[in-house]
């Protein structure tokens, strides 16, 4: 079904694997489109309650495949981003299910930006992050200038973007760039265990949390309070809310279904 990615669903988890290991999973136009399509597919599938994005081989994603743009004369990078990357990054936000970046190796350039666009980042101890754009005289794109300062703060974000220095998994955890670091030998097992936990929670409620928090980044307090009321009204009508209240009253663990 897909040329550059693998898509598998099991135990409520859609695992999207970037599958160009010989090119360190670097982006091409086809991969941009296929990731977007896979996120839309996962959003529509009621059986999917969590999404994991990872890479095949040693790398998570090395950024844009420069051979895909080199040799064709001057590149209109603005049009390039608007056509290939911006729709993909927006789809991460539109997908109202938790998205985990399982960063198994290097995440560089747009590969780092895509990891930032995910809701949660889990890293192998062998993972690293490189905001590599400055090394070829470019600006962080694919949401890099939006997500990075919001995750690590403006001072650290500017340092990483201006220097292009590599960030190890340990340092990424220290500065809040990733949520957890796991041993390389058990990385995917640990990442999937984390995903299974999220997949067992109220999926629609999590979708509303995601939507409301991201909107809250751009709104004032009064607007956010009103949007919280709207989101709470929607969450209160879900089956999982009813199950949660019933389980609490019956003093048992809730059995959420994602509905």
CA distance 68 to 66: 5
Tokens of 119: 């809701």
Structure confidence at residue 72 (pLDDT): 55
Structure confidence at residue 129 (pLDDT): 98
* Domain at 5-199: CATH architecture: Alpha-Beta Complex (3.90)
CA distance 108 to 99: 19
Task: State the distance between the two ends of the chain, measured CA to CA, in whole angstroms.
Answer: 28
Tokens of 138: 């470019």
Q: Give the closest residue to 197 by CA, choosing from 45, 40, 52, 43.
A: 52
Yes or no: say if 52 and 121 are a contact pair by the CB < 8 Å rule.
Answer: no
Q: Is the pTM of this model over 0.75?
A: yes
Give the list of residues 6+ apart from residue 192 with CB closer than 8 angstroms, or none: 13, 15, 52
CA distance 204 to 256: 10
Tell me the domain boundaries of the chain. 5-199, 203-249
Structure confidence at residue 67 (pLDDT): 79
Tell the residue number behind the tokens 């970037």, with chain if given.
Answer: 18
Buried b (16+ CB within 10 A) or exposed e, 110-141: bbbbbbbbbbbbbbbebbbbbbbbeeeeeebb
Q: What is the pLDDT along the chain (259 residues), one digit of tens a residue?
A: 899 999 999 999 999 999 999 999 999 999 999 999 999 999 999 999 999 999 999 999 999 988 777 655 678 889 889 999 999 999 999 999 999 999 999 999 999 999 999 999 999 999 999 999 999 999 999 999 999 999 999 999 999 999 999 999 999 999 999 999 999 999 999 999 999 999 999 999 999 999 999 999 999 999 999 999 999 999 999 999 999 999 999 999 999 998 9
CA distance 123 to 54: 10
CA distance 155 to 138: 19
CATH number for 203-249: choose from 1.20.1250.20, 1.10.12.10, 3.40.50.720, 3.40.190.10: 1.10.12.10
CA distance 151 to 155: 11
Structure confidence at residue 61 (pLDDT): 98
């Amino acid at each position: 079904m897909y040329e550059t990615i693998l898509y598998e669903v099991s135990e409520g988890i859609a695992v999207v694997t970037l599958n160009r290991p010989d090119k360190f999973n670097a982006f091409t136009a086809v991969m941009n489109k296929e990731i977007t399509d896979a996120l839309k597919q996962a959003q529509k599938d009621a059986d999917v309650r969590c999404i994991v994005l990872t890479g095949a081989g040693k790398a998570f994603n090395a950024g844009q495949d420069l051979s895909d743009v080199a040799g064709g004369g001057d590149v209109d990078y603005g049009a390039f981003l608007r056509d290939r990357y911006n729709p993909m990054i927006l789809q991460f936000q539109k997908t109202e299910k938790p998205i985990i970046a399982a960063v198994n190796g290097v995440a560089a350039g747009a590969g780092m930006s895509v990891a930032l666009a995910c809701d949660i980042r889990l890293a192998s101890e062998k993972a690293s992050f490189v905001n590599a754009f400055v090394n070829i005289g470019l600006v962080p794109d694919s949401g890099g200038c939006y997500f990075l300062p919001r995750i690590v703060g403006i001072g650290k974000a500017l340092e990483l973007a201006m220097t292009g220095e590599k960030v190890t998994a340990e340092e990424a955890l220290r500065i809040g760039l990733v949520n957890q670091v796991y041993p390389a030998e058990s990385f995917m097992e640990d990442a999937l265990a984390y995903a299974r936990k999220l997949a067992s929670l109220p999926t629609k409620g999590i979708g509303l949390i995601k939507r409301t928090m991201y909107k809250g980044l751009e709104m004032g307090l009064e607007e956010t309070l009103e949007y919280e009321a709207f989101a709470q009204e929607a969450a209160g009508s879900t089956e999982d809310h009813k199950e949660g209240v019933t389980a609490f009253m019956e003093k048992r663990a809730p059995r959420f279904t994602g509905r």
